[in-house]
Structures are given as structure tokens and as C-alpha cells.
Amino acid sequence: NWKLHPSSEAEAIKLARASDAKNVVICPPFPYLPTVRKTLRHAALGAQDVFWEEQGPYTGEVSPAILKNFGARYAIIGHSERRAWLHETDSMISEKVRTALMAGLRVVLCVGESKEVRRKGLAAAQRFIAAQLKQDLKYLNSKSYALSSKLVVAYEPIWAIGTGRPDKPEEAAAMARFIKKLLTARYALPAPKVLYGGSVTSANARRIFSQGEIDGALVGGASL
């Protein structure tokens, strides 16, 4: 997740080449999608957001169909920065998840609790995440298996994003286990995938994954 970086196409090409490996998804700002697509040999392409309508009077928005036409296979939805700065609500996010899955995009749905919630303990954070997932996935049901198999949840505690202080590996793993159980119980997903995001770097990734519960990382700053 490159977020709002870099500011030139030449840098985008350099970055794309540096991370071009299997099992990697690169999510650049929208205008770089065609360039990054042409550059990649191994990694997949994703977008940092997507709108919930396919077309219409929605200035500034980008639809799932446009993303697919430009080679994106994934879309991040509900990133905490969009929730904070663009006031995206769970209701908007649920619409985005529905439209993107129906259009055949793979969705990386971001959820995460604030510092205030986490201070009350892991159980309180789990209650928060359960409620967030319920709202963000309100259009999924156990019959939409074909759709939900294209869903990946990224657990990103807000206080760990961009701070250089990731969650404790055991607690991130406990949360991943909790989310997987919940996805299986609520939506009959047999093998849900959960990523961890928040200050993952090449120096700490091994430790974060050491618990075996986390299936991958959503990397922001370190992807640059």
C-alpha cells in the first residue's frame, strides 16, 4: 500500500520493480495503475479504494469495472486512513465490499480498533472488531461463499499504523485467530485468510509471523 506516494512515474516504476515478486499485491495511487501493470512480471495489481456504484454522477470516484479494465485484481476497502480523513462509514464500506465482490474483485477489508478501545484489553478490542465486521460484511451471508472466498481481512490496529510500534505478535495472532473463527462461524468460510498491518518492516516481519496464525502483511511505509 503505497498510500499517497510517490510523486513521479519514474519513482513508481522503480518501486514496482523493487517489490515485484509472487504473492505480492501492489496498490499504487490510481493514476499509476497502467504504468505499474506494465512493469510487473510476478506481483498482482490492486487499488487503494473503490466506489460502490458502477457508473453515474459520482465526481472523483472509480468503479470496480474501471479498476478491472486497468488490470487491478484487488481493492483495499475501509482503510483506517479513509475512515478518519474521508469519514468513510461502515455503511459505505459495506456497499463497497458488496459491489467489488460482485464485480469479481478480490477485497482486502481493513478493520482495526483505536488506542482507547485497546487500552480496555484484547477482549474489548475483539468485541469492537466483531461489530465492525458485522457491519462491513452485512451483505455477505453463508450462501455467498463464492463471493466471500475472494475476501481477505486485514487486521490493522489504528495505533500501530505508521507509528513504528507494531502489535505484539501473540496479540496480533490471537486477533487473527478470533477473526478467522468468526468468519467461519458467520459466513461458513472454510479457510479464511487474515493479514496483519501496522508498522510491518523487513526487520520485524519474521517475528510477527512466527505465531503461524497470520497469513500475510499489509505493508505501508516499508513498501516505499
Contact range with ligand PGA by CB under 6 A, out of 10-18, 50-58, 118-126, 191-199: 191-199
The DSSP element (H or E) to which 161 belongs, if any, is: none
Q: Give me the catalytic one of 53, 79, 171, 213.
A: 79
Please tell me whether residue 28 binds ligand PGA under the rule CB under 6 A: no
Contact 45, 26 (CB under 8 A): yes
Q: Check residue 207 for interaction with ligand PGA (CB under 6 A).
A: no
Given the residues 81, 88, 95, 156, select the one marked as catalytic.
Answer: 156
Task: Output the CA–CA distances (angstroms, integers) from residue 107 to 46, 48, 166, 168, 194, in the order listed.
Answer: 9, 10, 23, 26, 12
Give the one residue of 155, 198, 214, 216 binding ligand PGA; rule: CB under 6 A.
198
- How close are the terminal C-alpha atoms of the chain, in Å? 9
Report CA torsion sign: 204, 198, 39, 4.
Answer: negative
- Taking residues 156 to 185 in sequence order and writing x for each that binds ligand PGA by CB under 6 A, - otherwise, the string is x----xx-----------------------
88 is catalytic: no
The span from the CA of 22 to the CA of 159, in Å, is 29
Which of 6, 29, 71, 221 is the binder for ligand PGA (CB under 6 A)?
A: 221
Reading the block at residue 64, the C-alpha cell is 470496480
The binding track of 138-157 with respect to ligand PGA, each residue x by CB under 6 A or -, is ------------------x-
C-beta atoms surrounding 181 within 10 Å: 11
Residue nearest to ligand PGA (CB): 220
CA-to-CA dists, residue 132 to 65, 109, 125, angstroms: 27, 11, 10
Min. distance of Cβ 142 from ligand PGA in angstroms? 29
79 is catalytic: yes
> Would you name the residues annotated as active-site residues?
79, 156
Q: Which residues bind ligand PGA (CB under 6 A)?
A: 1, 156, 161-162, 197-200, 218-222
